[in-house]
Structure 1
Amino acid sequence: MGNSIFQSIRKNKTGILLIMLAAFSTSVGQMLWKMSGHFLDGYFVIGFFLYFCGALLMIVAFRFGDLSVLHPLLSMGYIFSLFLGSIFLGEHMTPFKIIGTCIIFAGAALIGGGDAD
């Protein structure tokens, strides 16, 4: 089983990298929207651009890996958002958020390694 996880990651590595960049880009874009003071200020425009780039990266990523592996990895965006909100917006990390983050990460890791031929 351990070897099959590495085979799956090797098989989908470009797609995994792109989908992780997509999740991070959309998370930063959404954070900038929240930081925006009003419609069409700098934060909003940059956030929109990053969200758009994340969407494009997601589309491209699906060409380099299996949908059943890559799409669930978009859930990493929740983890990125939690840390970005905590660091840049002063949002509080609760024990339940930390436990939830660990569960999301474990699930994404298990799914990402689950399709070796």
Structure 2
Amino acid sequence: MSLLKNKGIREAEVPSGSLADIAFLILVFFMVATTIDMDKGIGVVLPAEGGEIEMSSKNITNILIDARGSVLMDNKEVDIQDIKGLVVDLQMKNPKMVFSVKAHPRTKYKVYIEVLDQLKQAKTRVISIAE
């Protein structure tokens, strides 16, 4: 018989009571510390709600983009990089010019944005996005 008895020797335990609190604090820390990059999108100023405005066809330049990515400006095929120069010339001749952009449903988004970028670089005042 042993003189020393192992009375009350307990095995080591990790207290799990505060484990949920620690997990919650870590979750909150990462939510606060992480930045989420939100796309700004394209800045478009929409017209005020109202009726349609009648315009003369001589004040409208149609820009059509087909499914292949070809760009037609007043029924003439143009290169995307040439749009800016053509638009500047048209605006010099007619400051009230409206540019109507219509894209085929299968047009690649990249081509559509490149056309809009060319119009914005030419400092176009009025762009109409047609359906």
TM-score, length-normalised on structure 2? 0.23
Q: If each structure's strand is expressed as a fraction of its own residues, which one has the higher value?
A: 2
Greater length-normalized contact order (CA 8 Å, ≥ 6 residues apart) = 1
Q: If each structure's helix is expressed as a fraction of its own residues, which one has the higher value?
A: 1
TM-score, length-normalised on structure 1? 0.25
